[in-house]
A and B are shown apart, each in its own frame.
Chain A
Amino acid sequence: MAQPAPSRLGAVLAPLLALAAILAVWEGLTRALAVPAYLLPPPSAVLAAAAHDAGALASGALMTGRAALIGFLMSAVFGALAAIALGSSRLLEKAFYPYTIFLQTVPIVAIAPLLVLWFGPGLRAVAVSAFIVSVFPVIANTLAGLRSVDPGLRDLFRLYGAGRFATLVKLSIPSAVPSIVTGLRVASGLAVIGTIVGEFVAGFSEDSAGLGILVLSSYRQLRTDLLFAAVLTAAALGLALFGAVNLVGALLLRRWHPSEQNR
């Protein structure tokens, strides 16, 4: 039932052409309708702002990227460990899983100022904010993966007298990897969002501003072009993190898992 595989060239060209078309329409419309630049700047103005403030965007991306990466890695490690702990016993899962959902529903904007008080201003509060926002999908997906191990294989392990640890490490975790990667994909984008929100209230770290501060102050100055440039830079960070997760996932899975074959 295989579909005819699209050519590699097409796979690269199609999204690029779509992007060019969207940018052309955007540029054309803002010019034709004379939309004030502070309401919606044309792509050319955003590009000019990005070039003019390249230094601020680069150092902002560095600050934001570092905090997002720390928050994301914390989510990956603690999220996976928490899910393994919960998955080891139905009782534990029943007792604690409902409270992990709490993490997902926490309005991060409301508690971000408290994070600053609890963890100190700057990087720490920002990274924790990224962690809180991004950990739930890791827990939920890892747990789902651990729960959906092939029962035939589980019986096989039992038949051969495998211990709990061996079953966990050699069967449950490997077969949960695709789900974990899915959770990490979702978490990668959320981590960047959590970072930006954290930066709104956590202020500067070591005398340099992250993208969140840049967004905040350029909005106050009505520099909508710079605001767009900062938002796009943040999106690029999320995309880079997402790409890294995909790459690691593909490397881990391509040998044996159907989801990464036939690509």
Chain B
Amino acid sequence: MPLRARFSLALVALFALFAVLFGCSKPADPGGAARIKLALNWVPEPEFGGFYAARDGGAYKKAGLDVEIQGGGAGVPVVQMVAAGQADFGVAGADEVLTARARGADVIPIFAVYQTSPQGIMAHASRGAKGIPDVLASGTLAVELGAPYAAFLKKKHGFDRAKIVPYDGGVARFVADKDFAQQCFVTSEPIAATQKGSDPQVFLVADEGFNPYVAVVITRRALFKEQPDRVRAFARATQEGWRAYLDDPAPANAAMGKLNTSMSAATFTAAAAAQRPLIETDETKKRGLGTMTRARWDTLAQQLVELGILAKAPSAEEYLMAVE
């Protein structure tokens, strides 16, 4: 029946179209080299500079790794992606690592970019605040409710005097309102607000006593058990990349600027400079970039228990096995 034939021909043609549209999205299948995927939790920014430096500067290649960096967005489920094997490595916060582990995602940290958390509260300098307690005393504060750092500040200082509103990812309301304060990454929002003529003053949450490692590289524990050498090689090459990025951020900034076109070259430079003291500390000068200590992880676990985010503190032996 020609009609029926035409009908099925149309269907076949449509499915072929799908195949073509989907097909060209797939990169060439892995050949001989070890193809590895690193998932970022945000769009390419200086926060990830060392990874791009390791990729473009040849540190990964030298370690026998062909690394594909998967840029992220808002709320990318990086920890789950790594746990499910959709990415071999990922970038997440230390608090996320512990909560995900408590929910059964067997991921382990191998490298911590930020030794001091860049999480801060930014207020207008004209308010003359001396610290976070002053900022919390009046005005409006935008925070990501439910974030562990916010729970910590709430427990320590109380959120009953300032008006608390949800953080929306931008700085528009901050720039428009002198009594508006908000959470920020030292490396991001204060720079954007300054460029719009504001006078932001930043207080680190770390100075209040809550200082998880941030931009922690994680992997699956199963992957570490199967291929410990490859995981260690990845960590070492990443360290090499960060060294190169701290010495000269320009090449990696240019590479990231091509991907993240909304961020100007000047902003890349400013952010790279602002984050440097958080990445290279006295501790890393002794023990190497990306270093992590058991004491820091234990403190964080204890704090998360006190905040009611974790039921009980896990033992560091369960997850710190890949740390040299």
Evaluate contact between A121 and B14: CB separation under 8 angstroms: no
Which residues of chain A are within 8 angstroms of B18 by Cβ–Cβ distance? 70, 73-74
Which residues of chain A are within 8 angstroms of B259 by Cβ–Cβ distance? 204, 207-209
Evaluate contact between B196 and A201: CB separation under 8 angstroms: no
Which residues of chain A are within 8 angstroms of B40 by Cβ–Cβ distance? 203
Q: Does A219 reach chain B (CB closer than 8 Å)?
A: yes
Specify the chain B residue showing the minimal Cβ separation from A202: B73
Q: Does A116 reach chain B (CB closer than 8 Å)?
A: yes
Which residues of chain A are within 8 angstroms of B86 by Cβ–Cβ distance? 117, 120-121
Evaluate contact between A217 and B43: CB separation under 8 angstroms: yes
Q: Does A190 reach chain B (CB closer than 8 Å)?
A: no
A-B contact count (CB 8 A): 135
Q: Does B71 reach chain A (CB closer than 8 Å)?
A: yes
Q: Does A206 reach chain B (CB closer than 8 Å)?
A: yes
- What does the 1/0 interface line of B15-27 toward A look like (CB < 8 Å)? 0011001100101
Q: Which of A208-238 contact B (CB under 8 A)?
A: 208-209, 212-214, 216-224, 226
Specify the chain B residue showing the minimal Cβ separation from A210: B73
Q: When chains A and B are docked, how far (Å) is the Cα of A176 from the Cα of B137?
A: 64
> Chain B: interface residue count, which band?
35 or more
Number of interface residues of A (CB under 8 A): 50
Point out which of A56, A114, A217, A224 has the most chain B C-beta atoms below 10 A from its C-beta. Answer: A217
Q: When chains A and B are docked, how far (Å) is the Cα of A218 from the Cα of B267?
A: 13
Evaluate contact between B27 and A121: CB separation under 8 angstroms: no
Which residues of chain A are within 8 angstroms of B263 by Cβ–Cβ distance? 217, 221
Evaluate contact between B261 and A113: CB separation under 8 angstroms: no
Evaluate contact between B27 and A206: CB separation under 8 angstroms: yes
Which residues of chain B are within 8 angstroms of A99 by Cβ–Cβ distance? none
Q: When chains A and B are docked, how far (Å) is the Cα of A38 from the Cα of B197?
A: 11
Specify the chain A residue showing the minimal Cβ separation from B188: A220
Point out which of B3, B188, B260, B267 has the most chain A C-beta atoms below 10 A from its C-beta. Answer: B260
Which residues of chain A are within 8 angstroms of B170 by Cβ–Cβ distance? 219-220, 222
Q: Does A135 reach chain B (CB closer than 8 Å)?
A: no
Which residues of chain B are within 8 angstroms of A221 by Cβ–Cβ distance? 192, 262-264, 267
Q: Which of A40-73 contact B (CB under 8 A)?
A: 53, 55-56, 66, 69-70, 73
Q: When chains A and B are docked, how far (Å) is the Cα of A253 from the Cα of B54?
A: 58
A45 nearest CB across to chain B (Å):
14
Specify the chain B residue showing the minimal Cβ separation from A223: B262
Evaluate contact between A218 and B262: CB separation under 8 angstroms: yes
- What does the 1/0 interface line of A234-246 toward B look like (CB < 8 Å)? 0000000000000
Which residues of chain B are within 8 angstroms of A116 by Cβ–Cβ distance? 76-77, 81
Of A36, A117, A203, A219, the contact of B169 (CB 8 Å cutoff): A219
Evaluate contact between A117 and B81: CB separation under 8 angstroms: yes
Point out which of B73, B75, B259 has the most chain A C-beta atoms below 10 A from its C-beta. Answer: B73
Q: When chains A and B are docked, how far (Å) is the Cα of A208 from the Cα of B171?
A: 25
Q: Does B172 reach chain A (CB closer than 8 Å)?
A: yes
Besides the known contacts A200-B75, A217-B263, 14 further A-B residue pairs in the complex with CB atoms under 8 A apart: A38-B172, A66-B25, A70-B21, A70-B22, A77-B14, A124-B25, A201-B75, A208-B259, A209-B260, A214-B261, A218-B262, A221-B262, A222-B175, A222-B193
User: 7 interchain pairs (CB within 8 A)?
Assistant: A73-B21, A77-B14, A170-B3, A201-B73, A216-B169, A219-B170, A222-B171
Residues of B at the A interface (CB closer than 8 Å) are 3-4, 7, 11, 14, 17-18, 21-22, 25, 27, 39-40, 43, 69-77, 80-81, 84, 86-87, 169-172, 175-176, 188-189, 192-193, 195-196, 259-264, 267
